Amino acid sequence: MIPLFLLFLFLLGCNSASNNQTVINMDSVKKNNPVYSNSDTSKVNISEDEWKKILPKDIYNVAREKGTERAFVGQYWDKFDTGTYYCAACGNPLFQSNAKFESSCGWPSFFEPISKGSIIYAPDNTYGMKRTEVMCGRCKAHLGHVFEDGPPPTGLRYCINSVILDFEKAKAAEKKFDDEKAAKK
């Protein structure tokens, strides 16, 4: 019998985004995306054809086709800068960096979303597994899954694909870091 973990990794590879991961210039994505906003809370309801025109191929694969990037390759799985994570498809605020933790799973992991409305949930029974899918509360982009093996205070682990995240560093934290760095010189 095949161990469940090995089966999961095999199936993940079958439904993964491109193995040639590239870092997307989010500024160009934002410029070409009329629905991208970090402050607009209105629901996004556009056709799949429009999404295909707006989003880069790797973001489209995860957001609209429920793809998964390979573990340990995304740009945010091991990043712990202070700031906010947004939906790369629409700009909706999803997670604060202080809710991010090291889970050793290979994807960015958070213990709670930025607000109740930032994430929506759906049952996902694909590949013979019983999981809970998490999607953007504004545009319904697939983000990843939530599991009940996270740290306190929630006990949850939101396992999110890096490619569907946009990150903005906290300006105050960056200034403080730069000031401290300059003072040490």
Catalytic residues: 159
The C-alpha atoms of residue 140 and residue 142 are separated, in whole angstroms, by 6
Strands (E), 42-171: 83-87, 93-96, 100-101, 109-110, 119-124, 131-136, 142-147, 157-160, 165-169
- Asked if 86 and 39 count as a contact pair (C-beta separation under 8 A), the reply is no
Q: Of 148, 164, 145, give the one whose Cα is nearest residue 156.
A: 148
